[in-house]
Chains A and B, each alone.
Chain A
Amino acid sequence: MASLELKNVQKTYPNGAIAVRGVDMEIDHGEFIVFVGPSGCGKSTLLRMVAGLEKITEGEILIQDKVVNDVTPADRDVAMVFQNYALYPHMTVRGNMSYGLKNRGFAKDEINKKVEDAAAMLRIGDFLDRQPNQLSGGQRQRVAMGRAIVREPKVFLFDEPLSNLDAKLRVQMRIEIKRLQRRMDVTSIYVTHDQTEAMTLADRLAVINDGRVEQMGAPMELYSNPATLFVASFIGSPQINLLPVKLSGQSLVSGDLSIDGFQDLPADKELVLGLRPDHLSLSADQAGSSNSALKIRVDIVEQHGADNVIYGELIGAGSSMDGEPVEFCVKTGQANIPDIESILDLHFDVADAMVFLKETGSRLK
C-alpha cells in the first residue's frame, strides 16, 4: 500500500505561471524521499501541495489511499518543518510543541507526556520553558522538528530545513534527521537544492527540473545511471565533465580530439560526452582504463584531504556547452599533486562514458 501517491499533479498560478507540470509518484510507508532541483524548479510548490498549503490545479494527491485534494492541511495529518523554523515567537518551546495537540483536543497530561518524550528524543528537554529567541539556530531547528514529531503524523515534510544553519551544524543535523526518521519510521519528503544533502538523506530521490520529475530513484542509481543530461550534471560533486561532440565513424570528435570506441549512435546529431571525475584516472594501468585520448593542462589542484581534485583545460577540444574552452576535472588520490601548467594524460573506460543527445538532453548510452 502506497503511503503517499501523486497522480498527474499540476499547478498553474492565477497569473498563468506553471510551477508543476504533471508529477506522478508513489511513495511507500517509511520511505525517505528527497526532492532536489535548482531554485524555482517547483520542488517547494510540490511539497506545499502535499501539505495542503497550495491548491492543486489538476491531478490528485492521495495519503494512505484517500484523496486529500480538498482536505485542509490540519486534517491531512502531515507535519512540516519550515526553512525559517516558523516557531511562534511569543510561546515557550513547550507552548510551541503543544499548540497543535491542544488544538486537536488532547488532554493536558497526554500533551505533557508527548512533549516531554519528543523533547528527550531531540535533546531539548532543558529548554522547554525558554522562548525561541533564547535558542541557537540548531536548537530552534530541533524545536521545529519537535513540533512536527509530537503529533505523530502520517507524513513529515521538510522544506529546506537546514539551509539557515552553518556548514558544520548542517552535517550534524542531517545525520540526526536521518536517524530520527529511521527511528520514527514515518514517510518523509525533504526538499533541498543541495545535492550532497539529497544524496546522503534519500532512500529515493526525485530530481525536479522545470516542474517535472526528470528522474526518480535511489541516489546511487541516479549517480551512475542518469536518464538525462540534467540529472547527470545536477547529481555528483564535483560535477560531471561534459564535452560537446559529433560522431565520426566509431569515434566522437571535438576540435582536434577523436575518442574511439563508440557505436550505435546517431551520426548527424550533436552529442554530449559525459565523464564523471572519478571515472577518470591518471595512470593507464588501472583495470579497464583503456581509452587515453584526453589530455589536460593543469590549472588548479584542490586538496580535500583524502583526495585531490585536479582542474585543467582539455587540450585540443572544441568549445564547451557555453562556448568557452572545455575544462575537465579529475578526482585522484591525495599523493597526486601535479605542477600547475603540467600536462596530464587522462585514462578512462569507454563503458563508464555517458553520451547524451544535446538537443533534448536524453541519454543515448
Chain B
Amino acid sequence: MNNVNWRLLTTHLVLILGMLFMSLPVWVAFATSTHSAETILREGLQLWPGAHFVETYRQVLFVEGGVMKSVLGTTMLKNSLILGIGFAIGKVIISMLAAYAIVYFRFRLASFLFWVIFMTLLLPLEVRIIPSYEVVSSLGLLDTHVGLIVPLIASATGTFFFRQFFRSVPDELLEAAKLDGATAWQFFKDILVPLSRTMIAAILIIMFVVGWNQYLWPLIMTTKEENYTLVIGIKQIYQILAEGGELPQYQKAFALTILATLPPVLVVLVFQNWFVKGLVESEK
C-alpha cells in the first residue's frame, strides 16, 4: 500500500502552514497576555497560557488606573462600539439614499453627480484631514461621538454598490408599486430596503470592521481620555508603559489588543451565516 495522495498531502500542508502563519501571532498575543509582567520581561513572549488571565483582564476592563490613567477598558470598548456601529449604519443610510436618488430620479446632472461622488474615492480622509478637523472643530464637535462619526460616513463605495444593486431590480417592480399607489418614500421603505437586506448586511459587516479599525481620525479628534477608542487605547498604552520607571505592563497591552480584535471577529462570525443564507434565498 503505497498510494499516499501526495497532492492532497501538500495541499493540506500548505493550508495548515497558512493557517498557522495567520493565527499564531494572535495566539501568542493571547497566551502572553495571561502571564505576569515579570515573566514576560524575564522570558519574553509566551506560547502557552499562564495563570494571570482573570487578574489582567479584570485590571484592563474594570479597574480605574488599571490600564490608562483613569479611563476603563469597558469605556474604550463602548466608544469603539459606538464608532463602529454609528459608522456602519451612517454609511448604509447615506449611501442607500444617494444611490436611490441617482438610480430612480431622473434629475439633471444625475450621472455627473454620481461620478463626483465616485471621485471622492480619490480623496480619502488622510487627504482632507486638516479641513475636516477645521470644520468639526469650528462646529464645536471635537471630543464628541457625532464629530467622530459624521465626517466619515459619506461613502462612495457604498453608494456604488447600492447603485449597482438598485439597477438590477426590475423596472416592473417600480411600475407595479406606482400602480399600487406607493409614493417614492413608500417604494423605498416597503420594497427597495427589504430587497436590499443582503446587500445591507454585507455593507454593515464590512463597514463595522472598517469603522472599528479607524485610527487616524479618532486620534486627532479625541483629546480627553474618556473618549478614547480601543484602537487609540492600544497606541496610548505603549506611551504610558514607556513613561515612569515601573515594570512595563506588556500583558495589559496584549490583553487590550485581544479585546480590540474580538468584536469584529464576532460580528463577522454572527452575521456571516445570516448573510450567506440571505444571498442563497434571495430572488428578485
Does residue B135 face the partner (Cβ distance < 8 Å to A)? no
- Chain B residue numbers with a CB within 8 Å of A88 are 173, 176-177, 190-191
A103–B175 CB distance below 8 A:
no
* Complex interface bits, B168-181 against A, C-beta within 8 A gives 1, otherwise 0: 00101101111111
Q: Which residue from A82, A89, A104 sits with its C-beta under 8 Å from B175?
A: A82
Judge whether B181 and A103 touch: CB under 8 Å: yes
Q: Check: A73 CB closer than 8 A to any chain B CB.
A: yes
Interface residue ranges of A49-90 to B (CB < 8 Å): 51-53, 72-75, 78-80, 82-84, 86-90
Cβ contacts under 8 Å, A147 to chain B:
176, 180
- With an 8 A cutoff between CB atoms, is A133 at the interface? yes
Does A89 contact B178, Cβ atoms closer than 8 Å?
A: no
Check if B43 is an interface residue, CB within 8 A of chain A: no
- The reply to whether the CB of A99 lies closer than 8 angstroms to some CB of chain B is yes
State in angstroms the CA–CA spacing of A343 and B190 once bound together: 68
Q: Which A residues, 237 to 287, have Cβ-Cβ distances below 8 Å to chain B? A: none
Q: Which of A52, A86, A103 contacts B186 (CB 8 A)?
A: A103
**B284-A80 in contact (CB<8A):** no
Given A89-B195, A99-B190: A82 touches B178 (CB 8 Å cut-off): no
Chain B, range 141-191, C-beta contacts under 8 Å to A: 170, 172-173, 175-183, 186, 190-191
Q: Chain B contact residues: over half helix, strand or loop, or mixed?
A: helix
How far, in whole Å, are A103 and B182 apart by their CA atoms in the complex? 6
Q: Evaluate contact between B173 and A86: CB separation under 8 angstroms.
A: yes
Interface residue A100 (Cβ < 8 Å from any Cβ of B): yes
**Complex-state Cα separation, A80 to B282, whole angstroms:** 25
Q: Which of B244-284 contact A (CB under 8 A)?
A: 282-284
Residues in A neighbouring B173, C-beta threshold 8 A:
86, 88
| Chain A interface residue number, banded | 20 to 34
A104 to B177, CA, bound (A): 12
B143 CB to nearest A CB, Å: 42
Whether the Cβ atoms of A90 and B195 lie closer than 8 Å is yes
* Known pairs A86-B170, A89-B284, A99-B180; A53 contacts B175 (CB<8 A): yes
CA distance A52 to B177 in the complex (A): 13
Contacts of A133 in B (CB 8 A): 283
User: Is the CB of B194 closer than 8 A to any CB of chain A?
Assistant: yes
Contact partner of A78 (CB less than 8 A), chosen from B179, B191, B283, is: B179
Chain B residue at smallest Cβ distance from A159:
B172
Docked complex: B61-101 residues within 8 A CB-CB of A:
none
Which has the most chain B C-beta neighbours within 10 Å: A73, A75, A104? A73
Q: Does the CB pair A100–B172 fall under 8 Å? A: no
Interface residues of B in 165-223 (CB under 8 A from A): 170, 172-173, 175-183, 186, 190-191, 194-195, 197
- Contact status A89-B179, CB under 8 Å: no
Contacts of B179 in A (CB 8 A): 51, 53, 73-74, 78-80, 100
Question: Residues on B close to A: CB < 8 A?
Answer: 170, 172-173, 175-183, 186, 190-191, 194-195, 197, 282-284
Q: List 20 A-B contacts (CB under 8 A).
A: A51-B179, A52-B178, A53-B175, A78-B179, A80-B175, A84-B172, A86-B170, A88-B177, A88-B191, A90-B191, A90-B194, A91-B194, A99-B177, A99-B180, A100-B179, A100-B181, A103-B181, A103-B182, A103-B186, A147-B180
Listed from nearest, the 9 A-B pairs whose CB atoms lie closest are A100-B180, A86-B172, A74-B181, A103-B181, A86-B176, A90-B194, A73-B178, A133-B283, A82-B172
Question: Assuming A84-B172, A86-B173, A90-B191, what are 10 further A-B pairs, CB within 8 angstroms?
Answer: A73-B178, A73-B179, A74-B181, A74-B182, A82-B175, A82-B176, A83-B172, A90-B195, A99-B180, A132-B283
Please give the residue numbers on chain A whose beta carbons come within 8 Å of chain B beta carbons, in ascending order. Answer: 51-53, 72-75, 78-80, 82-84, 86-91, 99-100, 103-104, 132-133, 147
